[in-house]
Amino acid sequence: MPMFRYKAVAPTGETLTGQMEASSREEVVARLQDGGNLPIEAMEAGAAGGFSFDQLFRRSEMTSERIASFTQQLGTLLGAGQPLDRALHLLTDAESEGAADDDAVRRLIVRIRDAVRGGSTLSSALEQQHGVFSRLYVNMVRAGEVSGSLTDTLKRLADYLERSRQLKATIINALIYPMILVGMVILALIVLMIFVIPNFEPIFEQLGDRLPWITKLVIGIAAFLQSFWWLLLGAVVGAAWWFQRELADPQKRVQWDGRFLEWGKIGDLVRKVETARLSRTLGTLLVNGVPLLTGLSIARNVMGNRVLADAVEQATNSVKTGSGLAFALGSTKRFPRLALQMIAVGEEAGALDTMLMKVADTYDDDVKNSVERFLAAMVPVITAVMTVVIGMIMLAIILPILDMSSLVE
């Protein structure tokens, strides 16, 4: 039988990792569940887990919007009294009536439906789809199955996914204009350097050493771009590859994430985003009946910043010894004070899950406002810098021409 690597969360909140010999992933999941553990990951020991260029260009079968829609529709059908396999069959028929590019989604739902009809639980069927559904998603569904509240779990998941998608969309939409602005200016600079400046070189040669230093500098840059553009392109690609490798190394990833947190306003923004993500994830898990320690272990795996994830792990260890969540998170000195105060109020009132959701809403709004203010200040700065650069290039062209005109007179 093949050997499988697994990761699970124990009832105490401790993360368990190891290897197990089993006939299938479903058997590994079943054994872990029989032991009272909550499985997070199970894969063959020989499966590759690193970065590959195939992952860079591979497109997921289901976008975040489709996953949210699938979750909402499935929850609605189950709430209407439809059996699980029947609900999945109805969703398959609905996708078959869509556009041709919906075939991949339909095939995915068919695989899930067939796995459920074959005896698998919905969480196991989702886990078999090669990472289409996140660990949080699979574990939330698994917790809903165990507690007998799968319909409510799917509705909460749909709300969670929609709010997360809206926050991400807000940030991306806010970045579109500055990125277009920077792209257009860079394109204009390339056109000037490669196609415009060379046309003036015969004129500039007549002045010889009398050329202004700024003109010599621009001509040198233009000549470099014409002859060694491939070197510049290779340097950009190489830097991107190197940075990807740096982030793939766990120790170096922690170092980079620590640097991000120290970058003033950017660090504050990252901290707010991660606080909102932690609060909404943990709050959703607690509402669904997942124990606090288990919820903290799952929420830690969802966080993108490793330094803050390690802080949550430290807080989890403090909670195990009897500390309150607000005190445990506060002792790490990594999370905003307002969030800690709100969590403390929720603990005192016995409504931690509700307060965590309010914390998430508060910081979601704060992140949106912070991004808007940041971009409102950044766009004029970008415009001013690019205007100065283009102005210097135009000045480098005009000065020699004026000099020649004075000689003619």
Q: Rounded to an integer, what distance in angstroms lies between the CA atom of residue 29 and that of residue 26?
A: 5
249/97: higher pLDDT: 249
Most confident of 21-25, 176-180, 356-360: 356-360
Written as one string, the DSSP assignment of 119-169 is T--HHHHHHTSTTSS-HHHHHHHHHHHHHT-HHHHHHHHHHHHHHHHHHHH
More confident residue, 87 or 34: 87
**8 Å CB contact between 3 and 19:** yes
369-403 per-position pLDDT tens digit: 887 787 778 778 888 888 888 888 888 888 877 76
| Ramachandran assignment for 369, one of left (phi > 0), alpha (psi -120 to 50 degrees), beta (any other) | alpha
Grade residue 50 by pLDDT with cuts at 50, 70 and 90. Answer: very low
Over residues 260-305, the pLDDT tens digits come to 888 888 888 888 888 988 888 888 888 877 788 888 887 887 788 8
- With CA atoms as reference, report the closest residue to 88 among 68, 69, 111, 67: 111
Q: What is the DSSP letter of 101?
A: G
Q: Which residues are 15's β-sheet partners? A: 9
Task: Please indicate whether residue 139 or residue 107 has the higher confidence score (pLDDT).
Answer: 107
| Residues above pLDDT 70, as percent of the chain | 86
In the prediction, which pLDDT does 71 show? 85
Average pLDDT over residues 37-56: 51
Q: Which amino acid makes up residue 64? A: S
Is the Cβ–Cβ distance between 285 and 140 less than 8 Å? yes
pLDDT in tens, 75-123: 888 888 888 888 888 888 765 554 444 677 788 888 888 888 888 888 8
